[in-house]
Amino acid sequence: MATLEINPSLFAGLPVRLSPEVAEALHSGQPVVALESNVISHGLPRPLNLDAARDVEDAVRQNGAVPATSAVIAGQCVIGLSSDELDQIGTAEGVRKASSRGLGACLASGEVGATTIAATMVLAHAAGIRTVASAGLGGVHRDVDQSFDISSDLVQLTRSKVMLVCAGAKTILDLPKTLEYMETQCIPVIAYRSDDFPAFYVTSSGLRCPIRIDDAVELANAARFHWSVPGAGSLVITHPIATDHALDRETVENAIQQGLAEAQSLQVTGAAVTKFLMRAVDRATDGASSTANAAVLASTAGVASEIARAWSQMRVGAAL
Out of 5, 21, 24, 36, which one is annotated catalytic?
A: 36
Query: Has residue 17 been placed in a domain?
Result: yes
The pLDDT value given to residue 147: 84
Coil vs helix vs strand at 171: coil
Using DSSP, state whether 30 is helix, strand or coil: coil
Q: Are 166 and 134 in contact (CB under 8 A)?
A: yes
| 34, 37, 40, 41: CA torsion to nearest 10 | 180
145 is in an annotated binding site: no
Q: Which one is catalytic: 57, 85, 170, 306?
A: 170
Beta bridge partners of 17: 78
- Whether 312 has a binding-site annotation, put simply, is no
Across all residues in the chain, what is the average pLDDT? 91
Q: How many Å apart are CA 223 and CA 68, to the nearest integer?
A: 21
Q: Is residue 242 part of a domain?
A: yes
Mean pLDDT over 185-202 rounds to 96
CA distance 40 to 21: 21
Is 170 one of the catalytic residues?
Answer: yes
Q: For residue 150, what pLDDT is reported?
A: 93
pLDDT of 315 > 60? The answer is no
pLDDT band at 319 (very low <50, low <70, confident <90, very high): very low
Please check if 153 is assigned to a binding site.
yes
Q: Is residue 319 assigned to a domain? A: no
Residue 320 lies in a domain: no
| Domain membership flag for residue 318 | no
CB neighbour list of residue 76: distance below 8 Å, 6 or more residues apart = 15, 16, 17, 107
Is 152 within any annotated ligand binding site?
A: yes
- What's the confidence (pLDDT) of residue 5? 44
Q: What is the CATH number of the domain that holds 294?
A: 3.40.1790.10
What pLDDT score does 317 carry?
45
Q: Kindly report the backbone phi and psi dihedral angles of residue 133, in degrees, each rounded to the nearest multiple of 5, phi listed first.
A: -120, 140
DSSP 205-267: EEEE-SEEE--HHHHHHHHHHHTTSTT---EEEE-PPPTTTPPPHHHHHHHHHHHHHHHHHTT
Phi first, then psi: what are they for 13, rounded to 5°? 80, -5
Q: H-helix or E-strand containing 115? A: strand 113-115
Asked, for residue 2, whether it belongs to a domain, the answer is no
b/e code 215-244 from CB counts within 10 Å (16+ = b): ebeebbbbbeebbeeeebbbbbbbbbbeee
pLDDT at 253: 87
Domain assignment present for residue 1? The answer is no
Q: What is the pLDDT of residue 273?
A: 79
Q: How far apart are CA 305 and CA 130, in angstroms?
A: 11
Rounded alpha-carbon distances, angstroms, from residue 230 to 115, 162, 189, 226: 28, 15, 18, 9
* Predicted pLDDT at 256: 85
At 159-185, the pLDDT tens digits run 999 999 999 998 889 999 999 999 999
Is there a binding annotation on residue 149? yes
Q: Please give the Cα distance from 158 to 190 (Å, whole number).
A: 16
Give the chain's domain count.
1
pLDDT digits (tens, 9 = 90+) for 109-127: 999 999 999 999 999 999 9
Name the residue range of residue 50's domain. Answer: 8-312
Question: In the annotation, is 275 catalytic?
Answer: no
Does residue 98 lie within any of the structural domains?
yes
